[in-house]
Amino acid sequence: MKEELEKYFDRLWPICRSITGNGLRESLKILEEIIPLQWSEVPTGKSVFDWTIPKEWNIREAWIITPDGRKIADFSINNLHVVNYSVPIQGEFTWEELNKHIHTIPEIPNAIPYITSYYRENWGFCLAHQEWISLPKEGKYKVLIDSTLEEGNLTYAQCVLKGNTDREIFFSTYLCHPSMANNELSGPLATAFLYRMIASIPNRKYTYRFLFAPETVGVIAFLAEYGEYLKHHIDAGYVLTCCGDPGAFTYKRSKHRNSKADIVAEHVLRHSQKKHSVIEFAVGGSDERQYCSPGFNMPVGSLMRTMYQRYQEYHTSLDNKDFISFAALEETVMMYFNMVRVFEMNDQYVNVISHGEPQLGKRGLYPSSINPVFNREETHRLLHFLSFADGEKDLVEIAEWRNESALLYENIIQDCRKAGLI
């Protein structure tokens, strides 16, 4: 998987994405090679709850020519150089005039910042601070931003993978940032590859929904169309972001704190032997704040690696391919997949032998002196499972009683089904 993740990363990396526009659509087309997507286009000016869909933004070229003839802030070299959603501009400016439209990070002098102006028409450039302060203060700077801001559409896309019930597990990720690795591409890539793994599960109990949408306004547009249905069908949901750095896992709870989403995520993390932390829901973050808003209040959390705003490279050009690890990204996909495996198994089982212990020997499930090959620990686990399979406790509760992972019961459940014991 690592090699494929990297291949798709390299194709998606150069594309300038935003909350609308051709870069977003181009990225969705690439992801469609992994996951079949149903697109929705929401027109400029449409009201979605308290928000209005903005004009569509596209950009072709942008640069600054210094008084001594050097081309800097070249959009074709790094698309973070232009303030996202900049209106078109062409002209000549003094250093002082241009300085009003320049963004740097003095504390990280070698980083290009990521800046947007979605809802206020403006323009600007982003440079490494050390570059900007070294430029001449005399003479004229030639400036070009060849962009368009006009009536169009906001695009989001989803995939629904049907199961045997209409109860849903929901995975949401955003696809609206330009070239950043952990804070942009890791989430969509993890979501697409997670789809591929879930699709391979036979006889799925749950229906799985996957959403790729521009952050905030895109998710609000999605909820305006599908929120009421989802609210009544979702059992658990997660926002996938910051999935690719090699840091420890972080799980951010839903507002419910002990929803199925929280219980399963924390159970899998606790028994994974991986370093992790669990934090409470807070409004500072990503789209979980839309799903958990008062009108919806869905059980949606977020499993990440190093959390947004907690690494220096966040929202800068330093959040690049060197910052992430494709092995770590693969591990995140596998952690989510293990959560899915637990959801699929996590039923309230009923032991059909209600009085006394089942006779396991005649079913080939108990060791004997002439067949001592059985694993003693596995036998104890089987007996524990049958003892607690009372139709009231679910599998996670049963596993937690022994302080072990529910994933260890996969074969036991299969054997019990075959033997007609549950």
Say if residue 232 is in the same domain as residue 122.
Answer: no
Say which range, 203-217, 233-247, 340-354, has the weakest mean pLDDT.
Answer: 340-354
Residues 24 and 63 in one domain: no
Q: What confidence score (pLDDT) does residue 356 get?
A: 83
Residue 86 identity (one-letter amino acid): S
One domain for residues 87 and 218: no
Reported confidence tier of residue 329, pLDDT bands at 50, 70, 90? very high
With a cut of 90, say whether residue 305 has pLDDT above it.
yes
Give the pLDDT of residue 372. Answer: 56
Lowest mean per-residue pLDDT among 252-256, 362-366, 395-399: 362-366
160 and 74 assigned to the same domain: no
Q: What are phi and psi of 80, to 5 degrees?
A: -75, -15
Mutual angle of helices 326-345 and 260-270, in 10-degree steps = 120
94-141 pLDDT, tens digit each: 999 999 999 999 999 999 999 999 999 999 999 999 999 999 999 999
pTM, two decimals, is 0.94
Contacts of 7 (CB under 8 A, 6+ apart): none
User: In terms of domains, do 10 and 137 share one?
Assistant: no
pLDDT at 370: 53
Domain ends where: 345, 373, 397? 345
What is the structure's pLDDT at 358? 86
Quick: pLDDT tens for 61-88. Answer: 999 999 999 999 999 999 999 999 999 9
Distance CA 46, CA 92 (A): 37
Residue 57 has pLDDT above 60, yes or no: yes
**77 and 207 share a domain?**
no
Pair (78, 217) in one structural domain: no
Residue 301: pLDDT band with limits 50, 70, 90: very high
Q: What is the mean pLDDT of the chain?
A: 94
pLDDT score of 352: 86
Residues of the domain holding 74: 56-150
Q: Given 105, 121, 150, which residue is the final one in a domain?
A: 150
pLDDT tens digits along 259-297: 999 999 999 999 999 999 999 988 888 999 999 999 999
Kindly state whether residues 208 and 341 are assigned to the same domain.
Answer: yes
In one-letter notation, the amino acid at residue 132 is W
Q: What is the pLDDT of residue 193?
A: 98
CA distance 184 to 187: 6
Tell me the Ramachandran region of residue 280: left when phi exceeds 0, alpha when psi lies from -120 to 50, beta otherwise.
beta
Has residue 383 got a pLDDT over 90? no
CB atoms within 10 A of CB 265: 28
Q: Quick check: 16 pLDDT over 90?
A: yes
Whether the predicted pLDDT of 248 surpasses 60: yes
Contact indicator for 344, 201 with CB cutoff of 8 Å: yes
What confidence score (pLDDT) does residue 368 get?
Answer: 63
Query: Per the structure, how many domains does the chain have?
Result: 3
Mean pLDDT of 139-166: 97
What CATH number is attached to the domain comprising 203? 3.40.630.10
- One domain, residues 36 and 185: yes
Same domain, yes or no: 102 and 174: no
| Same-domain pairing of 262 and 367 | no
252 or 378: which carries more pLDDT confidence?
252
| 339 and 368, same domain (yes or no) | no
Which residue matches tokens 């206020």?
120
User: What CATH number did the domain enclosing 85 receive?
Assistant: 3.50.30.90
